[in-house]
Structure 1
Amino acid sequence: MATSSISVHSHDLDLLLKSGVLRHTNAIVLSQPGPLSSKEDLGFFIRDLFARLQVGGFEFKKKALESLLQLLQEDEKSASLVAKEGDMRYLVHLLDSNHHSSVREQAAIAVAVLANANVFSRNCVFEEGGLGPLLRLLESGSLGLKEKAGMAIEAITSDPENAWAVSAYGGVAILIDACRSGSPVTQSHAVGSIKNVASVEEIRVALAEDGGVIVLVQLLGSNNTSTQEKSANCLWILASASEDFRNSILQEGGLQKLLHLLQESANPDTLEHVLRAIYALSGSIPSLKILQSSISFLVQLAELIKHGNITTQQISASILCNLSINESTKRLMSGCMGSLVKMMELSKPIGLQETASRALISLLSIRSNRKELVRDEKSVLKLVQMLDPKNELVCKNFPVYIVSAILSGGSNGCRKKLVSAGAFLHLQKLSDMDVAGAKKALQRLTGNRLKNIFNRTMAGIVHKDTNPTR
C-alpha cells in the first residue's frame, strides 16, 4: 500500500515538474491572465490548469475545468493554444463513465467548444481519441451530456477525413437512435452528423440496414428548422447515391413530406436543401409522375424561379427541365420566363445559362408562351444583346436555341419583333462563325422575308410580260 501511494505521488510530482508550474513564483495560486497577457503567460496558465486537473481530487478537477471553460468562453482564440499546450488525451479521458457526472459534463462542454472552435483544436480532439467516448456519451449519457456530445460529434464529422471513424466505432446506429429519441437539440446535432458522413459508402449501407431513411423522413416534420434542413440535405445525398435509396425514400413518403415542407417553410436555406432533395428524386419515374401532376408544386416552382435567390432559381429550373408537363400548366408557369431570360445573362454559377435556356425552351413549346415572351420588350432586348458576338459573357448556343424556339411556330409577329430588335445582323454573324443552330435560326427569321421578296420579284416579272404597252 505504501509503495502504491508513493508511486502515485511520484507520478504527480513528475507531472508537475514537466509542466513547469513549480518553477513559477506564483505556482500555488495562479490567477487567470487578462486580455492583454502575453502568449507565454497564457500558455503557462493552461499548462498549470491541466497539471491541477490531473493531480488534484474531485474539487481540484472541478475548479480547474471551471477555469478552463471560462478561458475558452472569454477568448475564442485561446482554443488553439489550449489544444497545443494542454493534455487533450487526459481531457478526453475525463469523458469516461468512471468520473463524477459533473466532471464529465464540464469536460464534455470543453471538448465541444474545442471541437467547434477551429480546425486545429478539432483535429486534436479527434486524434486523441475523442470520437469514441463522445459516441458513448451520446448513447447513454444524461440529457445535457448527450447534447454536448452531439455538438462535438457534428463538429468532428464535418471534416470528411474523420467520417470513416463513425463506422469504426459503431456510431451509425447510435446516431440513428439519437435522431429517434433525443431532445430537439440532440436530434439536430445527430442528423447533422449523419449528413456529414452520408457520402461514405460503408456508412450509407449501415444507414439502410439500421432504418435510417424512415427516421430522416420523419425528421422533415420536426419543429426545429435546423433539423428539417439537415434531414433534407441528407436525403438529397442519399437520393443522389442510388436508385435503391430513391425508392426507399419514396416508399416512406419522403417526396410528399418534402413537397409539404416546401409549401410551409419560409427559410431560404431549408428551401434550398428541400429543392435539392426533390431534384435528386426527380430522376425516378414514380417521382416524376407525382411532381408532374402537382399543380401547386409547379406553380410554386415558377414563383421560386421568379423570386428566389440565385441558388434556388437554378435548382428550380433544373427540376423543371426534368419534367414533362402539359400545355395548360405551361401557361400557368409562363410568368417566370422573363426571370429565366435574366438568368441566361449570368456567367455564374456554372451551368446556370444552360439550365435556364433548357427550362425556357420547355415553356416555349406552346404558342401562347412564345407570343407572351416577345411581348416582353425587355426580355427580347436581353435575348438580342446575348446574340451579339461582342458579348463574351454568354455562350451563344443558348440564346440561339431560344430564338429558334420562339420562331418554331412560324409567327410573323414574333419574327418582326426579333428583326426590329436587331436579331438579324447578330444571327448573320453567328452563322458565318458556324455557331451551332445559328443557320437554322437565321433561316426561320428570314424565311417569310425571302419568300415575300421572291413573290414581289415574280409579280414584277409577270406584270412586265402582260403589259400591253411593252
Structure 2
Amino acid sequence: MRSSIDEVTVKLDVSLRDCELLLKIGELYDEGPLDDTSTCVELQRLLAWLEISHTEAKILALDGLLEALNKDEKRVVSMLGRDNVSAVVQLLTAPWPEVIRDKAATVVCHVVVVKGSSNAWQLLESEVTIPPLIRLMAKSDSQKAVVTLHHLSSTSLNTAWVIVSHGGIGPLIDMCCLKKGDSVSQSAAAGTLKNISAAPHVRQLLADHGTIGAMVSLLHCADALRESKEHAAECLINFTSSGNDDCLRRAVVAEGGLYALLLYLGDTDWHEAGVRAIRNLVGVISTTTSGDTTMMMKRLGGERRCVPLLVRTMWEVDSPQVSNSAREVAVQMLASLATYPPNAMKMGEDLGCVAGLVHRLDPDRYNNTIYKHAIQCLLSLASTSKRCREIMTVLRGSRHLRKLSDMNVEGATELLHRLEGGRLRSLFGIRKM
C-alpha cells in the first residue's frame, strides 16, 4: 500500500510541475494565435515543452524546434542557451524512445554545424554528449549522429580519446565499409576517423581495430563520394607521418595502402592528399636503408602491382597544381623500389619506365629532386642488364647526363661512365650539346 501511494505521489508531483510550467509560459490560457513576429516567445514555449514529462509533448516540441531551425537556423541557434542545449542532450540517452533520440540528434547536429553560443558549444564538446551519440549511431545507424561526431571531432583533439574510449571506432569503421548507413554517413564516418587519427596517442588503437584496412578499402570503392576518398587519403597521411613508429607505415604498405593511394592519385583531379601520403611511405622503403623489414616492404611494393601505376603517374599526371609533386614522388618511390633486384629487373624490361626516367634527366625541364631520384633509379636498372643500358643510350640519356655531370650532380658521372663503357672521354673533354 505504501509503495502504491509513493508511486501516485511521484506522478502527481510530475504532473503538478508540468502544469506549473505550462501556466508559466501561458499555454493554459486562451490567448489566440501568436503573431508571426513572436519568434522568441514561440521558441521559449517550444523549449519549455521539452521539459514536459510526457513523450508526446517532447515529440511536438522537437518537431516545432526542427521546423524553426529549418526556417532560420542561425537565428534559432543563437537564441539557445546552455540549459536549452542540455535539455536536448538529455534526450539522447537510452530511456527515451528512438524517435525522440533521433530528433534530438538532428537538433544537436544543427547546433554543432552552426556553432551557436560558446556555453552551448562547450557542453556539446564534453563527454556528456559524445557517448549517447555513439550509442545512437551504433544502434540505429543515425546519419545525424555520425555527422555531429564528425563536426565535434574537428574542433579539438581531446574528443579523439572520448570517441575511442566509448567504443566509437567499430561503428565508424562499419559505416566506412557501408555495413551500415549511406554514402553521407560513410563520408562523415571517414571524416571522423581522419580527425581523431590526428591525435598521435590513439593511432595504434585505431590501427588495431582495422582503421587502415577500412581506409584502403574506401579508396578502392568505386561508389564512394570523392569527399570520402579524400578523408581516407588524409587519414593515411596521419598514419604515415614522420612522428609515428615505422610499424604504422609498414602496416599501410602491408594492407595495400600504396597501391590504393596510387589508384587514387590517377583517378582524381586533385592529388595533394595522395602525394603527401605516398611521400611519407618513401621513408619506410628508402634507398638508403636496408634490412629484412625494408626489403620486405620493397618486395610488397613490387608484388602489389605498384610499379605500373608509378610509371603512369610519372607520365600522365597533368594537374597544374600538383603535377610536379606527383611526378617527383613517383620517381622517388621508383628509385626506392628499384634497390630490390627483382623490382629492378621488372622495371628494366618496361620500356615506358626506362623512357620516363631518361626523360626526367633533363635539367631544363625538371627540378633537381626529380632528376636526382631518376639517376638513382637508373643506376639500379643499369646494374640489371646490358639491354637496359643500351635502351638508355638509344634514348640519348648520355646527352642529359653530360649536363648533370658538369653540374656535379651526384651519380651522374657514374651512370654516364656505365653507359659509355668507361671510356676516358666520359670524364674529360665531353662535347657540349
Q: Distance between the aligned counterparts of 2:401 and 2:41, measured in 1?
A: 71
User: Contact (CA 8 Å) 1:302, 1:333: kept in 2 or not?
Assistant: no
Question: Structure 1 residues 22 and 110 mapped into 2: Cα distance closer, same or farther (>3 Å)?
Answer: same
CA RMSD of aligned residues (A): 4.1
Within the alignment, does 1:134 sit opposite 2:143 as a pair? no
Instruction: After TM superposition, give the deviation of residue 189 of structure 1 in Å.
Output: 1.9
Partner of 2:236: 235
User: Contact (CA 8 Å) 1:176, 1:190: kept in 2 or not?
Assistant: yes
How many residues align structurally?
A: 359
Partner of 2:18: 12
Structure 2 residue aligned with 1:99, among 96, 99, 104? 96
Question: Structure 1 residues 249 and 361 mapped into 2: Cα distance closer, same or farther (>3 Å)?
Answer: closer
Deviations 1:250-306 (A, max 9, x none): 22222223333333x2342xx3322222222222225556379714423423433xx
Calculate percent identity across the aligned residue pairs.
22
Describe how 1:155-234 pairs up with structure 2 within 5 A: 155-159=151-155, 160-180=157-177, 181-185=179-183, 186-222=185-221, 223-225=223-225, 226-234=227-235
Q: Distance between the aligned counterparts of 2:83 and 2:39, measured in 1?
A: 11
Instruction: After TM superposition, give the deviation of residue 140 of structure 1 in Å.
Output: 0.9
Please list every run of 5 or more consecutive structure 2 residues that lacks an aligned counterpart in the other structure: 1-6, 286-295, 339-346, 379-392, 414-427
Partner of 1:314: 325
Higher relative contact order (CA 8 A, sep 6+): 2
Q: Which moved more, 1:64-73 or 1:282-291?
A: 282-291
Amino acid at match of 1:239: T
Instruction: After TM superposition, give the deviation of residue 228 of structure 1 in Å.
Output: 2.3
Q: Which moved more, 1:160-169 or 1:81-90?
A: 81-90
Amino acid at match of 1:229: E
Give 3-state SS (helix, strand or coil) of 2:94's partner: coil
Describe how 1:52-71 pairs up with structure 2 within 5 A: 52-55=49-52, 57-71=54-68
Question: Structure 1 residues 52 and 31 mapped into 2: Cα distance closer, same or farther (>3 Å)?
Answer: farther
Instruction: After TM superposition, give the deviation of residue 316 of structure 1 in Å.
Output: 4.3
Q: Distance between the aligned counterparts of 2:406 and 2:19, measured in 1?
A: 81
User: Contact (CA 8 Å) 1:92, 1:111: kept in 2 or not?
Assistant: yes
Instruction: After TM superposition, give the deviation of residue 188 of structure 1 in Å.
Output: 2.4
Amino acid at match of 2:268: A
Q: Which moved more, 1:146-155 or 1:234-243?
A: 234-243
Structure 2 residue aligned with 1:300, among 292, 307, 313? 313
**TM-score, normalisation: structure 2:** 0.68
**TM-score, normalisation: structure 1:** 0.63
Partner of 1:147: 143
Q: Which has the higher helix share?
A: 1
User: Contact (CA 8 Å) 2:218, 2:228: kept in 1 or not?
Assistant: yes
Instruction: After TM superposition, give the deviation of residue 135 of structure 1 in Å.
Output: 0.1
Within the alignment, does 1:246 sit opposite 2:249 as a pair? yes
Within the alignment, does 1:258 sit opposite 2:261 as a pair? yes
Within the alignment, does 1:3 sit opposite 2:9 as a pair? yes
Q: Distance between the aligned counterparts of 1:211 and 1:318, measured in 2?
A: 27
Deviations 1:199-244 (A, max 9, x none): 2234222223323322222222222133322222212211222311
User: Contact (CA 8 Å) 1:43, 1:85: kept in 2 or not?
Assistant: no
Deviations 1:338-366 (A, max 9, x none): 8x9789xxxxxxxxxxxx43224444788
Question: Structure 1 residues 65 and 316 mapped into 2: Cα distance closer, same or farther (>3 Å)?
Answer: farther
Q: Distance between the aligned counterparts of 2:160 and 2:32, measured in 1?
A: 43
Give 3-state SS (helix, strand or coil) of 1:138's partner: helix
Q: Distance between the aligned counterparts of 1:401 and 1:157, measured in 2?
A: 52
User: Contact (CA 8 Å) 2:18, 2:52: kept in 1 or not?
Assistant: yes
